[in-house]
Amino acid sequence: MGQELPLQEGFLTTRVDAVVNWARSNSLMPMPMGLACCAIEMMAFAAPKYDVARFGSEAMRFSPRQADLMIVAGWVSYKMAHTIRRVWDQMADPKWCISMGACASSGGMHRCYGVVQGCDNFLPVDIYIPGCPPRPEAVIHALMDIQEKIRNQYSVEHDGIFGRNMPNVAANRPTIVTPDGENVISPVELYTQR
Ligand code: SF4
């Protein structure tokens, strides 16, 4: 079954995966790993103007045991990398990671012996945000990408068989309806037509 099926008597059938993923994707708690200037934009992301409470992620957690989304913002020195990895290891599974800005993703302008050339050298990064610094809107976009990633995975089976790679289900993107309401086209088709 897999599709939501509204019945006449006010019932709704769904999958456990869909419910778990819905809850997880709307309650991500960021672990702010602010290391340099990008951290200022990350703070703005959580401030009232951008209202990330709309996505259930306004509660920044400074304890790894209460967080499931690490945001690495700023360049990472080799000294700091060990600490970041330790914090990451203390976060409970399932967890996700965003690399924010050019420095976190590639070392940026800091092409030197003391800076790690990308935090994916020691962390499993899910989403990279380009820019120097990225705007808070870009961080929100990355958060939405993480949400979509969570919604399109077999969470229950994956949690039950820890460590086994599960195939992702097909992306559940909405269709796009043209202004005249006739041609319904999926975003995938739209992109491939370009
Ligand atoms: S990407 Fe730019 S704003 Fe972000 S930490 Fe590096 S220099 Fe600073």
In the predicted model, what is the mean pLDDT of residues 161-179? 57
Q: Which one of 103, 115, 128 would you pick to mutate in the ligand 1 pocket, going by the greatest count of ligand atoms within 8 A of its CB?
A: 103
pLDDT in tens, 95-108: 999 999 999 999 99
Percentages helix, strand, coil for the chain (3-state, rounded to 5) are 40, 15, 45
* Structure confidence at residue 155 (pLDDT): 76
The pLDDT mean for the chain works out to 83
* Structure confidence at residue 164 (pLDDT): 62
Nearest CA to ligand 1 atom 8: 37
Comparing CA positions, the residue from 75, 66, 54 lying closest to residue 143 is 54
Half-sphere exposure of residue 92, counting CA atoms within 13 Å on the CB side? 8
Nearest CA to ligand 1 atom 2: 132
Confidence grade of residue 49 (pLDDT, cut at 50, 70, 90): very high
* Domains of the chain, each with CATH number or no CATH: 5-193 (3.40.50.12280)
89 alpha carbon to ligand 1 midpoint, in Å?
A: 25
Q: Which one of 37, 45, 117 would you pick to mutate in the ligand 1 pocket, going by the greatest count of ligand atoms within 8 A of its CB?
A: 37
- Write down the pTM of the prediction: 0.79
Task: Pick left, alpha or beta for residue 124 (phi over 0 → left; psi -120 to 50 → alpha; otherwise beta).
Answer: beta
In the predicted model, what is the mean pLDDT of residues 118-132? 93
User: If you ran DSSP here, which 8-state letter would residue 186 be given?
Assistant: -
